[in-house]
């Protein structure tokens, strides 16, 4: 499945940071390029996290948009998709980001 390597990377980070504590919930910032669908990611994570400190952990995904900078008009900001057109002047812009994976927070069970 598409989410598998992403999910494995997140789980690795969770297990490492938790250092033996039980994890109840995590928040993960994921670039839109990964197209991590919440339900699919949660199901995959549930499966992979069995018998780890993150067994039964709730996954909250926060999507990070692409960023762009326009050479024509100087506009910069965020784009929800990879269509590389400047919203200000319709010139083709350079798009970056969207491929981040950041484990933003962990909530430990019983805390």
Which residues contact Zn ion (rule: CB under 5 A)?
Answer: 70, 72-73, 75, 86, 88-89, 91
Classify residue 83 by burial, with Cβ atoms within 10 Å: 0-12, 13-18, 19+.
exposed
Residue nearer to Zn ion on the CB measure, 27 or 75? 75
Residue nearer to Zn ion on the CB measure, 41 or 66? 66
Residue nearer to Zn ion on the CB measure, 73 or 80? 73
Least separation, in Å, of the C-beta of 91 and Zn ion? 5
């Amino acid at each position: 499945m598409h989410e598998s390597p992403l999910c494995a990377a997140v789980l690795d980070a969770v297990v490492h940071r938790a250092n033996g504590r039980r994890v109840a919930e995590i928040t993960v910032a994921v670039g839109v390029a990964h197209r991590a669908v919440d339900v699919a990611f949660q199901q995959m994570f549930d499966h992979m996290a069995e018998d780890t400190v993150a067994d039964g952990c709730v996954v909250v995904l926060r999507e990070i948009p692409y960023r762009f900078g326009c050479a024509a008009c100087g506009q910069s900001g965020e784009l929800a998709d990879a269509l590389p057109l400047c919203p200000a002047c319709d010139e083709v812009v350079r798009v970056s980001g969207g491929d981040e994976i950041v484990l933003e927070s962990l909530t430990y069970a019983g805390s």
